[in-house]
Amino acid sequence: MFNQQTINQHTLLSHPEYSTQISLNWFDAEYWQQQGKIVGSKKGRATAWFFCHNNLTAVLRHYWRGGLVGKVLSDQYVYPGLEKTRVYQEFVLMMTLCEMGLNVPKPIAAKITKQGLIYRGDIITQAIDGAQSLLDVLKERALTSSELTKIGNAIALFHNRGVYHADLNINNILFNDSGSVYIIDFDRGEIKAVHAQWQHANMTRLLRSFYKEQGRNNVMHWQQSDWQQLNSAYQSALKSTL
């Protein structure tokens, strides 16, 4: 399914296509900067770095804690055993989602660094060609009727397959350059028994993110009727969980 190797205190996971290329340097943004291969960045809770190497354009993301705990522990997590780390679980989940044929970024590699009772982590995923998040689009223009339907259908497809996303929001739903919908950032995600309760909670979280970003941004082309159309398409595509 994937390759695993240990180098001192580091455990590296890699997609079989890239296992012979991966080294510790791949997880160092400064290394890519020195090589002149950084091609972009995106700021969220922390900076995600885009680099281009050979024919691969990829995204390097470090794991940072959020909330009040994050202000104290920043990027440190209690080590629960390799297979229970957030890094390992996200990488394995994304490998599984790719094998299921779902629109997620291909996982390239991940690193878990253990020091005593704590660990830190990084993950590299393939960049999505021409990616624009829903927020990026809404800052420029309104979503079309076709796009709203595509989004609803895409989320329903994931939910019908039991794919739970821990933080479904408009920054984590993207269009690629041909207009297909992708979902990213599966930290703390999982495949679970299909049930209306968590599906509804996912959609409620997504709706909150629309309102939250509308309050943050001076210009955002979004209205309640857009949600009604998106949710209608989602409900139509969703298999009954009763």
From the list 27, 48, 52, 56, the residue with the least C-alpha distance to 39 is 52
Which amino acid, 226? D
SS3 sequence of the chain: CCEEEEECCEEEEECCCCCCCCCHHHHCHHHHHHCCCEEEEEECCCEEEEEEECCEEEEEEECCCCHHHHHHHCCCEECCCHHHCHHHHHHHHHHHHHHCCCCCCCEEEEEEEEECCEEEEEEEEECCCCCEEHHHHHHHCCCCHHHHHHHHHHHHHHHHCCEECCCCCCCCEEECCCCCEEECCCCCCEECCCCHHHHHHHHHHHHHHHHHHHHHCCCCCCCHHHHHHHHHHHHHHCCCCC
Concerning whether 167 is annotated as a catalytic residue, the answer is yes
Catalytic residue among 28, 75, 136, 167: 167
Q: By the 8 A CB rule, do 231 and 152 touch? A: yes
Give every CB contact of residue 233 below 8 A, 6+ residues apart in sequence: 148, 149, 150, 151, 152, 153, 156
User: Which positions are catalytic?
Assistant: 167
